[in-house]
Chain A
Amino acid sequence: MSNNRESLFSAKNRKLLLTPLSKENPITIQVLGICSALAVTVKLQPAFVMAVSVMAVLAVGNVLISALRKTIAPRIRIIVQLVVIASLVILVDQVLKAFVYDISKQLSVFVGLIITNCIIMGRFEAFAMSNKPWPAFLDGIGNAAGYGLILIIVAFFRELFGSGTLWGYKVIPQGFYEFGYKDNGLMILPPMALIVVGIIIWVQRSKDKELIEDK
């Protein structure tokens, strides 16, 4: 067994890590986790914290579920998965409250709602239940990174045009405002997040023709 062990970052494992960033992106391709993508992307900072939180939950959860996969009775697997997610989310919530209280307040209920993020349950079911812990870990990191990437892109545009700031710093010069420029209020409203995600999907699909289904 030990002599045919594959290396930690074999081509297969690298693929687990990288495809969720583009071809298997949880948001733009699988269209999961949309609700939090709309809710937390008004500003970059909360979006980044959210992405990191989901990454922590998904990576650790994937490893745990993968390690337990042979002992979980199939009939109660959803309950077990939920217990794992819920405990991890509570941990993340406590850590956020302890170290970045302001952002934790901004994210408010959405940290708790990581439990209902479809990406997490989806990866547990689709991957962790049938794979070893290390690949499951990479899969968790990869998918959370794909999720986080879109979150950050969306938040970048929404914060830049909606509030004129990036990471809380003013980037649009005062001169613009004196010339009559105004921040776009629609960018702060959730529909615009959906439209920005839509535009990202449009760009991605027109660049990568493989993604277009046959009619």
Chain B
Amino acid sequence: MSSLRKTVDKIKPYFEKGGKFEYLHSTFEAFETFLFVPDTTTTSGSHIRDYIDMKRTMTIVVLALTPLLLFGMWNVGYQHFLSYGEEASLWQNFWFGFLKVFPILVVSYVVGLGIEFAFAQVRGHEVNEGFLVTGFLIPLIVPPDTPLWMVALATAFAVIIGKEVFGGTGMNILNPALLARAFLFFAYPQDMSGEKVWIAEKADAFSGATPLGKLLVGEPLSTLPHASDMFWGLIPGSIGETSTFLILLGGLFLIITGIGSWRVMLSVFIGGFGLAGFLWILAHYTGVDNAYMSIPPYYHLIMGGFAFGAVFMATDPVTAAQTNKGKWIYGILIGVLVIIIRVFNPAYPEGMMLAILLMNVFAPLIDHFVVEANIKKRLKRIKVQTVK
């Protein structure tokens, strides 16, 4: 460790003012602070700070996501060989998936970080760390067969239009990773939906529909995978979102480390389960023939991107509501909207992405009213005292 520190210190002068590579200052700084916690002291504002800065925060989220990526790689291989009816070993499955997923991960990072570094150099500010997580999320939420140029284009779109135009990390209105997915979803619908895309190089005769896709075309409940398969993640889907179990594990890790908001996670599940349960009861008593309504409500929570969105997307500290009360409202509305889109919109089998993006837009408004309500409450208290 100390030899690394020495090397960094040795080359540091080159990047300082007047040095040979002064123009690369922000690039150097990004790497230095990535390796070592910066030793700068606070000069203004609040003086009590956590040792956890943004780079450390991002690393923890990446740690929470890693099991999902590894499982996703294995599952891509598993689904592929399953579609041919072949038995494959753990390593065969994993290796097949690795070759599919790893290029997507590399493309997402290279393109995204390339743009981040370029903007940081031109604008002369530090390189934002936000992309460490975004770049990891993008491969997890696309189908395994997504062409790499599409990944590159979507990443560029998300970073430039979703983040840099608003002023970089912390200023964005929409979650950049979800924006990348929304871009792909609307730009290249054939590659992002339907039953062909969810299994990499699948056998033609094999139906590759996700559970939600099956419900959309009205297949009976009995054709759905077993609930335990959906919980453990042995179903086709986007690379990293199939295993509800690992998602919950990652969520638990985020809650324990204090990075993710348990209020948002819990309220999304409450909102989704509440409305799904209500509709389920309604379907039972009225006999409405809607496949989405008649499945047991907890199915909604383990199918599609619900859990992944609730744990990793809705909790994004930049785009979520900031106040505690606001977080409950924000989360519950996301859960409710997902179910509304799934059940009542015949065009989209899945609604998590759209629900979160929509609530991202409303989050500042929710916060505004929460804060205003608090101010009003306190003002009333003052008045009462003056009357006495």
Contacts and interface: CB of A to CB of B under 8 A. Distances in A.
Interface of A: 180-182, 184-187, 189, 195, 198-199, 202
A180 B149 contact: yes
B304 to A, nearest CB: 22
A198 B186 contact: no
Interface string B159-186: 0010001000000000000000001001
B147 interface: yes
A204 to B, nearest CB: 14
A195 B186 CA distance: 14
A195 B189 contact: no
A185 B149 contact: no
Given A195-B161, A198-B165, A202-B165, A185 B147 contact: no
B165 A184 contact: no
Interface string B187-217: 1111100000000000000000000000000
Given A195-B161, A202-B165, A184 B187 contact: yes
B161 A187 contact: no
State the 9 A-B residue pairs at the shortest beta-carbon distance, nearest first: A186-B187, A186-B186, A184-B187, A185-B187, A182-B188, A180-B147, A185-B189, A185-B186, A195-B161
B183 A186 contact: yes
A185 B165 contact: no
A205 to B, nearest CB: 11
For the side of the interface on B, what is the size category?
Answer: 10 to 19
Nearest to B161: A195
B187 A187 contact: yes
Q: Is the interface of A mostly helix, strand, loop or mixed?
A: helix
Contacts of A189: 186
8 contacts: A181-B149, A182-B190, A184-B187, A185-B188, A185-B189, A186-B187, A189-B186, A198-B165
B256 to A, nearest CB: 39
Nearest to A186: B187
Nearest to A185: B187
Contacts of A186: 183, 186-187
Given A186-B187, A198-B161, A202-B165, 18 more contacts: A180-B147, A180-B149, A181-B149, A182-B150, A182-B188, A182-B190, A182-B191, A184-B187, A184-B188, A185-B186, A185-B187, A185-B188, A185-B189, A186-B186, A187-B187, A189-B186, A195-B161, A198-B165
A15 to B, nearest CB: 31
Q: Which of A180, A185, A198 has the most B CB atoms < 10 Å from its CB? A: A185
B207 to A, nearest CB: 24
Nearest to B192: A185
B107 to A, nearest CB: 14
Contacts of A199: 161
Q: Which of B149, B165, B186, B188 has the most A CB atoms < 10 Å from its CB? A: B186
Nearest to A198: B165
A198 B160 CA distance: 12
A126 B187 CA distance: 41
A182 B187 CA distance: 9
A184 B190 CA distance: 11
A202 B161 CA distance: 11
A187 B186 CA distance: 9
A189 B188 CA distance: 12
A172 B227 CA distance: 47
A198 B165 CA distance: 10
